[in-house]
Amino acid sequence: MHGRKKDHKRGITYSMLLVGDSGTGKTSFANNLLETAIFPHKYAMEVPGLPENPRVKVVKPTMVVSYNSKNGIPSHMAQFDPAREHFEPGVTITSTSLEISTGSEKLSSRASMSSDGSSMTQNGGVDTDKISFNLVKSYGLGENLDNSLCFDEITGFLEQQFDQVLAEETRIKRNPRFEDTRVHVALYFIPPTGHGLREMDVEMMKRLSRFTNVLPIISRADSFSTEELAKFKATVMDDIERFNVPVYKFEVDPEEDDLETVEENQALAMLQPFAVMCSDERNDSGQFIRRYPWGEINIDDSDVSDLRVLKNVLFGSHFQEFKDTTQNFLYENYRAEKLSTVSDWDVDKESGDVNKRNSAAPSLSNFASLITTGQFKSSNSLAMPPQSETPSTPDSKTISHGSGMESPAIRQISQSIRRGNEEIINNIKSSPRSSAPGSPDKSKLRNISETVPYVLKHERIIAKQQKLEELEAQSAKELQKRIQDLEKRAADLKLRERLLRQQHLNSSSTSLSSRTTSASQTLPTQTKLKKEESMTDLASIVSGRV
């Protein structure tokens, strides 16, 4: 009850990402969307002189997000300075925490926004006073010769938000201050080229679609004549179909949706991609306008811009839909995919029922049993072979063949690897969160999310094992080289021995008649000694003691 009260107090969280080439109008759009002057333009030293919107409050100023620091957990590094943004290499991601008051009105999935874009009405019964709105913006996309790193940074950021929620779900004691910063909708700003989508547009939207609902937006729509805009929209949609870009589509389900929803979604689907114009300028009556030498246009005029419709979609008709899709579809898919890494640790089938997984979903008990037997089987790991198993790397096999047995050096390396692994496993076993196999509470802990800490630990083990595997392969290579050298030396020695024996036989046959009795006793002794010497060499080589 208390928690509910707090939730209510904190309001509904909603996150939006604005992404696109530099100069496509993202900053202007953000200001227009919120009817504020919160966001300064990149090269402007001051924020645009718009009157502030009393319904919008900045909770945290715009911060640069770094997700590389603090062990990969995103953190807000410093306040963002747009005037210095272009000094940053790659892409810069910023986050601004805002609070949008909606008064005592109700917010609903079928809510609608008034023309001023700020008030919401009627929503499936969820009373709310405010929306905790997180606006994320990317800067610098498309400014580099190779944009793939920028894609990685942006999708990495989105993934980290999912990871944070996944980690939070696994806590026994939840953090009451946890902020869900998963991005519910991303607006991808397509530059008004008139030539359809570029490769980078396709790639970026595809990547974003894994983590959020993507809406393609044609920016600076005033660049087009009516006819050109219609053609450009059609080309963009054709490209989206052709390249299978999974953007958010306003689809209808005639069996589930009511007539109003069907009509609305059909109209929105026809309008997609939304073409917007933005401005920092207002006329005397407070409307946002763009002033041109030949006249002025009202950016909220639905005849010339889709901005008003888009505002309504974002904060009204599809507000809840975007949140639901993110949670129930995108996040759930991600979660299942991430946790299914545990299911790769299949156990050796012969090791008994106790290790058998009885469901596709990973569970703590499965993991515990894996730990107990110390038998992980992962496609890309060294996988700690049981003591009796022969080493499986090709190099170590060659060595075994060459010597007829595992060399002591290799044995020593593999033992040290095994010891290291056992140490890690023991650490996990002794951690307070792991349960003893067979404990009565085990089934209670079968909750998928409980396995996450183990997944993370297992990932660390795999990384460590891979490193050890590399080391082992390297040492095995070196040892193999040494053995080849030694085998060569042994062959040389054998050859020398044979030559000496031959020499001796020759000399003994020629000097047989002139040999004295004492000489005939000495020579065989010398030969014998030499033979023993070389045999000792070979024995030491075979046993690997050289």
Q: With CB under 6 A as the contact rule, which of the stretches 25-33, 63-71, 422-430, 448-456 interacts with ligand GTP?
A: 25-33
- Among residues 17, 26, 164, 365, the one that binds ligand GTP under rule CB under 6 A: 26
Which one among 55, 182, 220, 335 touches ligand GTP, defined by CB under 6 A? 220
In single-letter form, the type of residue at position 506 comes to N
CB of 144 to ligand GTP, least distance (A): 13
Name the one range near ligand GTP by CB under 6 A: 19-27, 103-111, 360-368, 458-466.
19-27
Q: Is 13 in the site for ligand GTP (CB under 6 A)?
A: no
Which residue stretch of 23-31, 113-121, 233-241, 347-355 sits at the interface with ligand GTP (rule: CB under 6 A)?
23-31
Give the long-range contacts of residues 200-205, CB within 8 A, separation 24 or more. 200/142, 200/147, 202/239, 202/243, 202/245, 203/151, 204/19, 204/141, 204/147, 204/151, 204/154, 205/240, 205/245, 205/247
Task: Give dist(CA 128, CA 147) in Å, integer.
Answer: 41
Give the pair of three-digit tokens for residue 136.
């994320």
Closest to ligand GTP by CB, 187 or 313: 187
User: Which position has the token pair 């009509």?
Assistant: 263
287 touching ligand GTP, by CB under 6 A: no
Is there binding between residue 76 and ligand GTP (CB under 6 A)?
no
Determine if 139 is a binding residue for ligand GTP (CB under 6 A). yes
41 binds ligand GTP (CB under 6 A): yes
CB of 245 within 8 A of CB of 301? no
Of 187 and 425, which has the nearer Cβ to ligand GTP?
187
Find out whether 47 and 38 touch, Cβ atoms under 8 Å.
yes
> Between 24 and 164, whose beta carbon lies closer to ligand GTP?
24
CB of 21 to ligand GTP, least distance (A): 7
> Least distance in Å: CB of 222 to ligand GTP?
5
Among 11, 12, 16, 28, binds ligand GTP (CB under 6 A): 28
Q: Does 437 bind ligand GTP (CB under 6 A)?
A: no
> Is the Cβ–Cβ distance between 219 and 32 less than 8 Å?
no
**Which of 318, 262, 331, 328 has its CA nearest to residue 107?**
318
Does 402 participate in binding ligand GTP (rule CB under 6 A)?
A: no
Count of residues touching ligand GTP (by CB under 6 A): 14
* Nearest residue to 64 (alpha-carbon basis) of 93, 91, 87: 93
Q: How far is CA 461 from CA 158, 291, 381, in A?
A: 25, 62, 9
Of 261-280, binders to ligand GTP (CB under 6 A) are 277-278
Peptide bond into 176 cis (omega under 30): no
Q: Which chain residues interact with ligand GTP by CB under 6 A? A: 22-28, 41-42, 139, 220, 222, 277-278
